[in-house]
Amino acid sequence: MKAALESKLNDQTAVAGVIGLGYVGLPLVQHLCGAGYRVIGFDVDQSKVDRLNAGESYIHHIDSAWIARIVAEGRFVATSDFERLAEADCISICVPTPLNRHHEPDLQYVEQTTAHIAAVLRPGQLVVLESTTYPGTTTELLLPMLSASGLRVGQDFFLAFSPEREDPGNARFTISKIPKVIGGVTPACTALAAAYYEKIFECVVPLSGPAAAELCKLLENIFRSVNIALVNELKMLCDKMGIDIWEVIHAASTKPFGFMPFYPGPGLGGHCIPIDPFYLSWKAREHDFVTRFIELSGEINTSMPLFVVNKLAEALNHAAKPLNGARILILGAAYKKDVDDMRESPTIKLIELLEERHALVDYNDPYIPEIVPGRHHSITKRSVALTPQTLASYDVVLISTAHTCYDVEMLLDHANLVVDTRNLTGAIPKSDPRLSIVVKA
């Protein structure tokens, strides 16, 4: 079976299957098609399937014209029919791995997807889990389910873990330029996964097995979470000491070695950093081990929206206005600048906290025209137009996401009060009198 799949990969007749057509899966489809693979995309959301087959993208940085072209050429088709997984030679699993309400791993989507694959698994198929998870998931969850058919891993079918490292909106590091870490259940699994992905990744990094690859992804995001928590904590200290944390970070960044800048904010967002560390802390408890850095960084980072709201209330108080009934405009609903992704965005928590205190909250985001109820919130709002008149009509403007399209000059000219959590106003000379309306939070 290994030789047969190798032959298909070498002559590029292998059919690729991608399960989960979101911010990870759809860019992967784009690169697989670019490498010459014919791709079948799978998703449970029929509206996504229909839009893709009609040549329409729902992700900002994926061009609709490109989708329309590859669909017309017969190189890509989207489907919600999971029986068609039997047609794919190589299957990449790119489904969400969220936390439940107790901050424990929720692997229901991985488990459901694996059940779909197991139902049609045939000899010669390669299955690769890309969804971030705790060490042991590939061998403890996927392997038993796929082996139940009687097929043998490493001989009849092949299984590996290869974490996604997608960074939406990063034009410098597209998928192909980010090294691809791979850990197969057997050496043959690793070799085939490497042969599959090396067509689209400039560098492939094979590891000893799935557990090392699973922990690799967690380490990357735990590193970021801990360091962001550090600067968030220092931001709160600097606030009390009357020191500009942004000035301090910039100064420290001039050191050419031994320092890497991280930046504070109103809270963590995205599908990785707010979630992934808790996958390891949960797994660590099986080994009677407490991951203290992870737990502490989580506490600090999740406390940031409340810190921001308290700073905003204090700023309004100095302007002789109560938070109760205040008109507040939040700039940015996306979790990071210049993307249309609002997964785990701190803006959601900011809105909830402000409305609990009876503030009247609107938002503007050119990338997010509407906020709809989600997994953990029931907010429904539409983005308001950003004009001089709009800015002047609010008691305070809260900068939650520093999109590069935001006009700082217009903001300072027309807003009554600005609470800046992202240092969007940092480029304005400190001598500018308009900065008197700006409060850093």
What is the per-residue pLDDT across 295-340, written as a single tens digit (0 to 9) for each? Answer: 999 999 999 999 999 999 999 999 999 999 999 999 999 999 999 9
Q: Residue 238 catalytic?
A: no
pLDDT for res 61: 83
Q: What is the pLDDT of residues 160-217, one digit of tens each?
A: 999 999 777 677 777 888 999 999 999 999 999 999 999 999 999 999 999 999 999 9
pLDDT surpassing 80 at residue 149 = yes
Cα–Cα distance, 420 to 414 (Å, whole number): 15
The secondary structure element, H or E, covering residue 215 is helix 210-241
* Confidence at residue 72, expressed as pLDDT on a 0 to 100 scale: 96
Mean pLDDT of 105-125: 97
- Cα 416 from Cα 21, distance rounded (Å): 43
Mean pLDDT of the chain, nearest integer: 95
Higher pLDDT, 166 or 33: 33
Which pairs from 219-222 meet CB under 8 Å and 24+ separation? 220/165, 221/132, 221/272, 221/273, 221/276, 221/277, 222/276, 222/277, 222/280, 222/293, 222/294, 222/297
Token pair recorded at residue 66 = 């490109």
Question: First and final CA of the chain: distance in angstroms?
Answer: 59
Can you list the domains of the chain with their CATH numbers?
2-208 (3.40.50.720), 221-440 (3.40.50.720)
Quick one: pLDDT at residue 318?
A: 95
Structure tokens at 425: 């106003």
Stretch 383-407: mean pLDDT, rounded?
98
Q: How many alpha carbons lie under 13 Å from residue 30 in its C-beta half-sphere?
A: 22
> What is the pLDDT, as a whole number, of residue 186?
98
pLDDT tens-digit map of 73-100: 999 999 999 999 999 999 999 999 998 8
| Candidates 94, 216, 238, 272; catalytic one | 272
Task: Provide φ and ψ at 245, rounded to 5°.
Answer: -60, -30
> Which burial class, exposed, middle or buried, applies to 288 when counting CB atoms under 10 A from its CB (0-12, 13-18, 19+)?
exposed
Strands 180-184 vs 158-161: parallel, antiparallel or unpaired: antiparallel
Give the model's pLDDT for residue 274.
85
User: Using CB atoms within 10 A of its CB, is residue 141 exposed (0-12), middle (13-18) or buried (19+)?
Assistant: middle
Flag whether pLDDT at 51 surpasses 80. yes
Residue 205: predicted pLDDT? 97
